[in-house]
Amino acid sequence: MNEVQPIDKEQKNELVYDTEFLNNKEYVKLLKANSIIRGRVVSDNNKMKLNVYDLKVLNFLLKTLQECIKNEGKPKDFTTLIIPMEIFKRVVDDSKNWRTNFIKATEKLEKIAFELNNYKNWDKDEFVYWQKTRLVINPKFYTKNKERINAYCKISFPQELTIACWQKTDYTHLDFKTINTFKSKYALRFYESLIAKIQYFTNYNNYKTEYDFRQKELENIFELDLSVLPNGFKFFLENRVDFFNTIVNDLKTKINFTYEIYSKDRIITFKIEPNELEQFRTKKNDIVDLSIIKFRNMLESELVNEEPNQRTYKLDKNKPENAMSIFLNDIRKNYNDTPLLQTKEEKEKFGNIAMSLNGNLYFLHNFQVLSYAKTKGFLIYLYKNHYERIMYEIKIKNIQFYKNEEKSLFDNV
């Protein structure tokens, strides 16, 4: 290893960070970009594959990179870190040969071609389904005054990978200590992908208990084309990757689950108990979430008097979430199957949306029900921009209903 060079400088298209400030910092959470979790190693002439130690080194580097750039502006073409190697020993691996293993794994990462899945290109404001990138660039290792205990590594990262670590969206909270205890690289890949799925749905109040891994996703995890398996899918799982013992047992030390294999379709379904899901939720309910929850509760229980002229809610209208849930219930009962938006521009942005009598928002042209995420975004807009108009139209509609009812009663006398 060479003598360490000066590091406190900024190049034209490069930012250089000294990470000594992390010497005593605990590595607790890795906010790992889903584009990396879903990413894949690209085959090349070397046919190199990552092992579990390589993945742990990569996660360490991503966490360290994230700590340096999380409060910075948009990353430049290259971001370079000078990392005291003792940090890796402290937070990942303190075994006898940790330094040699770290260097070998880092040098291997440099040779890996990688593709990010569904990567956000911030300059063009568009998503790229597969974005080519490198994992690390030109890693070098140094000693300070020839003391191995003060060894440093200097590593650069490409802009695409750095942006994935920097962005404040589309990532998964991973417990850093947990992901460093895996023995199987496949179990670690499954765990990261499974937590990403669970976290996404639970954060939108969807506590689904079954999560499918289909063929394309499994091919990324196993780094293998599964379309042609001479001896079948179950044989591959049992004899090629030891799924039923090594992978499952490693996973079960971190999360309770059962699973089902669908050999013909190349699908593995993980089944999680409902009481396991809440621990992976990372977002608290905001006012809109609470409104939707209370609105759904109103549909399931008798919270209102059904007489239209004596509708009495058992909710405190002064609370914002209650006001919105009452608004939703009024739409359901008095404005159902009616377009909620007016202008062409609004309908182009959101679609021509109405609410059914059972409380679902749907597109009028094909009756497709909106997802929770789209429902939430739409309701924020609707409540802010159309509350007074819709409530006025409901009031006029009810007045007209009463007049017609009185007239018909009078005519019957």
Q: What is the number of residues in the chain? A: 413
H runs (alpha helix) in 122-273: 159-166, 176-179, 185-203, 215-222, 233-239, 248-252
Query: pLDDT tens digit string along 167-181?
Result: 988 999 999 999 999
Closest of 112, 111, 128 to residue 120, by C-alpha: 128
| DSSP H or E segment with residue 270 | strand 267-271
Contact 125, 77 (CB under 8 A): no
> How many Å apart are CA 309 and CA 312, to the nearest integer?
9
Can you give the pLDDT at residue 304? 43
pLDDT band at 98 (very low <50, low <70, confident <90, very high): very high
Contact 114, 41 (CB under 8 A): yes
Average pLDDT over residues 236-248: 96
Could you say which DSSP state residue 369 is in? B
pLDDT band at 12 (very low <50, low <70, confident <90, very high): low
pLDDT band at 314 (very low <50, low <70, confident <90, very high): very low
Contact 88, 60 (CB under 8 A): yes
Percentage with pLDDT > 70 across the chain: 85
Contact 51, 114 (CB under 8 A): no
Q: 155 pairs with which residues across the strands?
A: 81
| DSSP H or E segment with residue 402 | helix 372-412
> How many Å apart are CA 409 and CA 280, to the nearest integer?
59
Query: pLDDT tens digit string along 106-139?
Result: 999 999 999 999 999 988 889 999 999 999 999 9
Contact 315, 301 (CB under 8 A): no
Closest of 246, 175, 148, 136 to residue 29, by C-alpha: 175
Number of H helices, E strands in the chain: 15, 16
Structure tokens at 146: 């020839």
Q: Which residues contact 321 (CB under 8 A, 6 or more apart)?
A: 287, 288, 290, 291, 294
Residue carrying structure tokens 């750039």: 69
